[in-house]
Structure 1
Amino acid sequence: LAYWRQAINIIDDIVENGEQYDFYQAVRLLNRLSSTGSSENKPELTIRPDLNIDYPQSDIENINKLEGDRGYEILTTFFGLYGVASPLPGYYTEELLDEEWEDHATRRGFLDVIHQQLYPLLYQAWLKYRFSHNAIETSGEKYWEIIFSLLGLPEEFRKFGDLSGTFLKYTGIINQRPKTQSGLKTILADYLKPLNVDIEPCVLRKVVIQEQQRCKLSIENNTLGSNTVIGEQVNDRSGKYKIHIGPLSIKQFQSILSDKKQLKFIQTISKLFMVQPLQCDIVLKLEKGSAQPICLGQSQYSCLGKSTWLVNQKNEEAFNVTLN
Structure 2
Amino acid sequence: MANSHWRQTINIVDDIVENGEEYDFFQAVRLLNRLSGDNASEENCKLHIRPELNLDYPHADIESINEIDGGKGYELITTFFGLYGVASPLPGYYTEELLDEEWDERDARRGFLDVIHQHLYPLLYKAWAKYRFSHNAIEQNDERYWEIIYSILGLPEEFREFGDLSGQFIKYAGIISQRPKTQLGLNTILSDYMKSINVDMDVEPCVLRNVPIVEHQRCKLSLDNNVLGSNSVIGQQISDRSGKYNLNIGPLTGEQFQELLTNKKHIKFIRAVSEVFLVQPLQCQIILQLDKNAVKPICLGEEGYSALGQSTWLVNEINEQAFNVALN
Under TM normalisation by the shorter chain, which class is it?
A: 0.7 to 0.9
Choose the corresponding residue for 2:248, options 244, 259, 269: 244
CA distance in 1, matches of 2:22, 2:311: 59
CA distance in 1, matches of 2:8, 2:237: 71
CA distance in 2, matches of 1:126, 1:89: 27
Contact 2:296 2:305 in 1 (8 A): no
Deviations 1:97-137 (A, max 9, x none): 22123231122123223323331222122112211112223
Residues 103-114 of structure 1 aligned to structure 2 (within 5 Å): 103-114=105-116
Residues 1-324 of structure 1 aligned to structure 2 (within 5 Å): 3=3, 14=16, 18-32=20-34, 43-53=45-55, 56=58, 58-67=60-69, 71-88=73-90, 90-193=92-195, 195-215=199-219, 220-222=224-226, 225-295=229-299, 303-324=307-328
Q: Secondary structure, in 3 states, of the residue corresponding to 1:289? A: helix
Contact 2:64 2:77 in 1 (8 A): yes
Deviations 1:240-292 (A, max 9, x none): 01122222333333344445333233212211222210001122223332212
Q: Secondary structure, in 3 states, of the residue corresponding to 1:322? A: strand
Structure 1 residues 262, 58: closer, same or farther in 2, change over 3 A? Answer: farther
What letter matches 1:110 in structure 2?
A: F
Contact 2:207 2:241 in 1 (8 A): yes
Contact 2:298 2:314 in 1 (8 A): yes
CA distance in 1, matches of 2:265, 2:20: 43
CA distance in 1, matches of 2:266, 2:171: 16
What letter matches 2:172 in structure 1?
A: Y
Deviates more, 1:313-322 or 1:294-303: 294-303
Structure 1 residues 309, 103: closer, same or farther in 2, change over 3 A? Answer: farther
Q: Secondary structure, in 3 states, of the residue corresponding to 2:99? A: helix
Deviates more, 1:55-64 or 1:280-289: 55-64
CA distance in 1, matches of 2:305, 2:19: 56
Q: Cα RMSD (Å) of the superposition?
A: 3.6
CA distance in 2, matches of 1:7, 1:114: 38
CA distance in 2, matches of 1:151, 1:134: 17
Contact 1:43 1:72 in 2 (8 A): no
Overall identity of the aligned pairs, in %: 69
Contact 2:3 2:9 in 1 (8 A): no
Structure 1 residues 200, 48: closer, same or farther in 2, change over 3 A? Answer: same
Long gaps (5+) in structure 2: none
CA distance in 1, matches of 2:249, 2:241: 21
TM-score (norm 2): 0.80
Structure 1 residues 3, 12: closer, same or farther in 2, change over 3 A? Answer: closer
Number of residues of Structure 1 aligned to a counterpart in Structure 2: 322
Structure 1 residues 70, 3: closer, same or farther in 2, change over 3 A? Answer: closer
What letter matches 1:212 in structure 2?
A: H
